[in-house]
Amino acid sequence: MNPDVAIDVFKTTLLFSIYMAAPFLVGMLIVGLMTSLFQSVTSIQEPTLTFAPKLIAFACLVLVLAPWLLRVLGEFTISIFARMSSLGH
Distance separating alpha carbons of residues 64 and 36, to the nearest angstrom? 24
Mean pLDDT of 48-73: 93
What is d(CA 7, CA 20) in angstroms, rounded to the nearest whole number? 20
| Start-end of H helices in 3-46 | 3-42
What's the average model confidence in pLDDT over 37-56? 87
pTM score above 0.85: no
CA distances from 5 to 76, 79, 84 (A): 16, 14, 10
The whole-number pLDDT of residue 1 equals 63
**Domain residue spans in the chain?**
3-87
